[in-house]
Structure 1
């Protein structure tokens, strides 16, 4: 089923591994830009998608399996960064996306994007990271608390929803309103999505980004970091380190923005992405 917003952003789906993979896009010709979320869902990219489309790009913000509006359910095995990266390549294949593609990742989606680049799983032409996990910056405490099998098994629906509400409220920073918080939380009212999210939390491991660092230092692919400076989860110091150590990397800092800066400064972030992806 497809639905179109007033901005022209369309939610539609495609079959991957026998399940529906839901994604936001603007249906038009133009270079594809693959937008990956992490512990949230494709909603994090919605504020910038229309502006990317206006620049002639074809933005595609997919919901990972079992999360957001996608079908299926993640397990500890399928929720690892390498496993999700492999799924993303199957998603791209289902959309018949071939050739070099620009990729942007937020949160753990940034780890997946880095993995795609380093392991050449998908031919990545340009890499943008928005308040992404890097090095040993993750998992954040509010995610790590669900890594223990005992804690995960004992977590009630109210426990998960309360934890997600507090995390979303902090991540939205000054953009947080009750309506926006409710909008972000809606997928977690589904027990299947809560189980998938806890699998993602359980599989969260900083070795997946630490192991990529040597190859990233050798990479010549253009990279852009966009960072909300008030992020209490993925601190801007990690972005500064990445920019100083990884070649061909530029850093755009977003003052007074939190972990989901697309909600705080969509115009500024969209301009930075457009300039980068159309260079």
Structure 2
């Protein structure tokens, strides 16, 4: 089953663990590029998908279980980074993607991407991190605050609206904000989001550093310099410490820089993945 967004991008599904998994894709051929989201959903990758496809790539932006428009529901155990990495490996198998695969991760999706590489869960040919969690940069305080007490649906949506508006910055419009919020009107998706937030733990990235230091896989960091929490200093440290890493800083771009600077982000990822 598939639906066209009007930009050449398709939303379709595949079965993983008996549940429908929703993903955005563009292009039919070319090397697959797996795009992982964090505390948002696959929508963060939408502005760059068409450009990646035009460059001969096959971008695949998947919704984790219970998030975005995927079926199922996360609990803290299945929302932990190692469990999500194992799930991604099963998704790749269900998609019948063979051989090395390029991976990009945003936010907590970047922790999953790092785990895929460092723990050999997939044969990762190239790794891109886009304002990703690294080291002890997470969990973010505004995310953790939603776990301090039981919140109503209205309180949850109001908190996420504020986060979306801030992270979109100059790209924020009422229509775009509403689009980002739409999946969270479903109680199951809200519960899955809270499970991901409760499973957030920096030991999952700190523990990968020794393996990443030994990795010779090409790595690329794309960073909006105005991110409130995933600050560019973390990216600079990663680029200094982890071999085969290049950093691109994007001025005046915030946490969802695929929305603030889609052309520049897409061009940078194309140059990296097509090299």
TM-score scaled by length of structure 2: 0.99
* 1:269 correspondence with 2:265: yes
Extract unaligned runs of 5+ from structure 1.
none
Query: Where in structure 2 are the equivalents of 1:7-22 lying within 5 Å?
Result: 7-22=7-22
Q: Does the aligned pair in 2 maintain the 1:75–1:199 contact within 8 Å?
A: yes
Find the counterpart in structure 2 of residue 115 from structure 1: 115
**Cα displacement (A) at 1:95:** 0.4
**Cα displacement (A) at 1:147:** 3.9
Q: Does the aligned pair in 2 maintain the 1:105–1:129 contact within 8 Å?
A: yes
List per-residue Cα deviations over 1:203-236 (Å, max 9, x = no partner): 0000000000111111100000000110002111
Alpha-carbon distance in 2 for matches of 1:139, 1:256: 23
Find the counterpart in structure 1 of residue 59 from structure 2: 59
Alpha-carbon distance in 1 for matches of 2:96, 2:112: 20
* 1:247 correspondence with 2:269: no
Alpha-carbon distance in 2 for matches of 1:82, 1:93: 17
Alpha-carbon distance in 2 for matches of 1:211, 1:146: 26
Q: Work out which of the residue numbers 189, 193, 213 in structure 2 matches 1:217.
A: 213
Alpha-carbon distance in 1 for matches of 2:146, 2:177: 21
**Cα displacement (A) at 1:177:** 1.2
Find the counterpart in structure 2 of residue 260 from structure 1: 256
List per-residue Cα deviations over 1:173-223 (Å, max 9, x = no partner): 111111111111111000000000000000000000000011111110000
Find the counterpart in structure 1 of residue 93 from structure 2: 93
Find the counterpart in structure 2 of residue 158 from structure 1: 154
Q: Work out which of the residue numbers 167, 170, 180 in structure 2 matches 1:171.
A: 167
Find the counterpart in structure 1 of residue 45 from structure 2: 45
Q: Does the aligned pair in 2 maintain the 1:80–1:204 contact within 8 Å?
A: yes
Find the counterpart in structure 1 of residue 134 from structure 2: 134
Of 66-75 and 139-148, the range deviating more from structure 2: 139-148
**Cα displacement (A) at 1:24:** 0.3
Secondary structure of the equivalent of 2:7? coil
Secondary structure of the equivalent of 1:247? coil
What CA RMSD, in Å, does the superposition of the two structures yield over aligned residues? 0.8
List per-residue Cα deviations over 1:4-58 (Å, max 9, x = no partner): 1222100000000010000000141110000000000000000000000001000
Secondary structure of the equivalent of 1:77? helix
Give the count of matched residue pairs. 275
List per-residue Cα deviations over 1:100-159 (Å, max 9, x = no partner): 0000000000000000000100110000000000000000011112345xx2xx111112
Alpha-carbon distance in 1 for matches of 2:262, 2:6: 17
Q: Does the aligned pair in 2 maintain the 1:3–1:10 contact within 8 Å?
A: yes
Q: Does the aligned pair in 1 maintain the 2:80–2:200 contact within 8 Å?
A: yes
Secondary structure of the equivalent of 2:76? coil
TM-score scaled by length of structure 1: 0.97
Find the counterpart in structure 1 of residue 70 from structure 2: 70
Q: Does the aligned pair in 1 maintain the 2:27–2:56 contact within 8 Å?
A: no
Find the counterpart in structure 1 of residue 202 from structure 2: 206
* 1:25 correspondence with 2:21: no
